[in-house]
Amino acid sequence: MLDMKRLKLRSMLVAVIAIALSLIAIASYAQANKTLTLATSPDYPPYEFKDTAVSGNEIIGFDIDIAKYITKELGYELKVIGMDFNGLIPALQAKRADLVMAGMTPTAERKKNVDFSDLYYEAQNTIVAKKGSNLTKAEDLTGKKVGVQLGSIQQESVKKMAGVQAAPLNKIPDIIQEIKAQRIAAGVIEDTVAKGYAAANPDLEFNTIPNTEESGSAIAFGKGSTLVPEFNRVLQQMKASGKIKELANKWFSRPIAQAEPTTANQPAVAPKFGLDFGKIVPSLPYILSGIWVTLTFTLLSAFLGFLWGIVLSLFKISSIKPLFWFATAYTSVFRGTPLILQLTLVYFATPQLTGYNISALQAGVITFFLNSGAYISETIRAGIQAVDKGQKEAAESLGVPYKQMMGDIILPQALKNILPALVNESIALLKDSALVSVIGVEDLLRRATIVGAEKYIYFEPLIFVGVIYYLMVLSLTWGANVLERRLQSSS
Ligand code: ARG
């Protein structure tokens, strides 16, 4: 009996070690020393955006060019990562990034949490609205619903306008889309950015309004960062030598990609319906390579989650009480809190707690396998318990050791019975994998939104990847059916 317990323990230990090792393998690439990580929100052409048809994955723009210039001067390597605007300051605080350049304005509120360089560019707010809507001054917005980017100073200034309802949205393209759909009356967006969107959407116009708050862009750093004086020194040089002007000219006067031709004196344009998938064709390779990201992510999480689920289920039927308690509490917590919350926690808390700068993909795989392990363990436990009790008793009376009994007799039968449930779990995982796009993993969904942002369109890329997701789920279901039939006929 004692021997059996020891064996049980040992096999569980082996499984735990196997999981730990695979984790380390995922996490094994170390960060080069002199690399600075720049975090940005690439929804802001021409400051930072993607042109997937031209430069693929890479984030480009005015801010990025400045960052490249400065880091080169100072002898650092530069790594650029993208996320939602409201995640940028937390990223600095979590030491996930060394600096942020996102057309970010140094406000008193932000200065409490991060340090800023000198200003490197000035900007003004504008009201973006449908042509002919006559919303040109702040006063015109009274009683209206107005879109702003979540966490931006525009959100603050609209909040202060009496009688105006602020609608905070994650991305600038979301604001544009909501205006076009007339769910909001207007948006408050910075001039250089508004210009691009207005040029690409002939049904929109923009009007500059006077700044009431702080304005302009500066580079943000973690509190107490020693980089600030170095960066300021190079910024001063760049201003003196005309380099900043040169870069501003390069980016701010560039013709807007895919802008629809506008004819002078065009009357207010009637809303256009109908979809144009032609616009996403140049970016197809970029979108399609997201299939790999999504697949690797799903397979890795499903596989690790499955192993972890087996371990947990054995814990749950174990006679060793602490293991049972652990597994039960674990499942309860992971099933009882939202997946997206677990994901953001793992992503943002890991660097702060462990000092290890976990990548978004690693954080995603870890959260998903920890989470799906909880669900799968329940399924497996039920599967094991559904196997005829007599078999266990027979094996035990024949003196078959626990490990062999589980591995050769009970688990194979259990797995066969729960296969449909496991397939369900994998399908859920495949679709839920789209959640990782919120922490910036470039999976299918994120690629679709990025292409949408850069082409100033919305539905086409989403519909396109929707079809891809659906096809992936169909093939998964089909593969599982084949497998099930095989297993059935082999019994
Ligand atoms: N300048 C504004 C601010 O600091 C908006 C910046 C938005 N930037 C972006 N990359 N989306 O709040």
Q: State residue 4's pLDDT score.
A: 58
CA distance 172 to 127: 13
Distances (CA, A) of 56 to 34, 135, 253, 282, 489: 25, 37, 22, 10, 48
Q: Is the CB of 149 under 6 A from ligand 1?
A: yes
d(CA 104, ligand 1 centre) in Å:
5
- Quick one: 354 and 235 in the same domain? no
Q: Is the CB of 219 under 6 A from ligand 1?
A: no
- Quick one: 103 and 241 in the same domain? yes
| Regions in the chain scoring below 70 on pLDDT | 1-10, 12-17, 19-33, 254-273, 453-454, 456, 491
Domain assignment present for residue 109? The answer is yes
- Quick one: 452 and 354 in the same domain? yes
- Quick one: 330 and 447 in the same domain? yes
Q: Which atom of ligand 1 is nearest to the CA of 155?
A: 12
Q: State residue 231's pLDDT score.
A: 97
Domain range for 425 is 284-490
- Quick one: 103 and 75 in the same domain? yes
d(CA 343, ligand 1 centre) in Å:
25
Domain assignment present for residue 276? The answer is no
Domain assignment present for residue 47? The answer is yes
User: Given the DSSP bridges, would you call strands 186-190 and 145-149 parallel, antiparallel or unpaired?
Assistant: parallel
- Quick one: 105 and 161 in the same domain? no
Full strand arrangement of the beta sheet holding 77-82: 77-82, 35-40, 99-100, 217-222, 114-121
Q: Is the CB of 44 under 6 A from ligand 1?
A: yes
Residues facing 166 on adjacent strands: 146
| Residue partners of 33: CB distance under 8 A and separation at least 6 | none
CA distance 394 to 21: 36
- Quick one: 203 and 224 in the same domain? no
- Quick one: 104 and 236 in the same domain? yes
- Quick one: 115 and 204 in the same domain? no
- Quick one: 41 and 69 in the same domain? yes
Q: State residue 11's pLDDT score.
A: 72
Q: State residue 32's pLDDT score.
A: 42
- Quick one: 202 and 291 in the same domain? no
Q: Is the CB of 348 under 6 A from ligand 1?
A: no
Domain assignment present for residue 20? The answer is no
Q: What is the count of structural domains for the chain?
A: 3
* CATH for 222: 3.40.190.10
Please report, as a single letter, which amino acid is at residue 229. Answer: P
- Quick one: 236 and 161 in the same domain? no
Domain assignment present for residue 29? The answer is no
Report pTM: 0.68
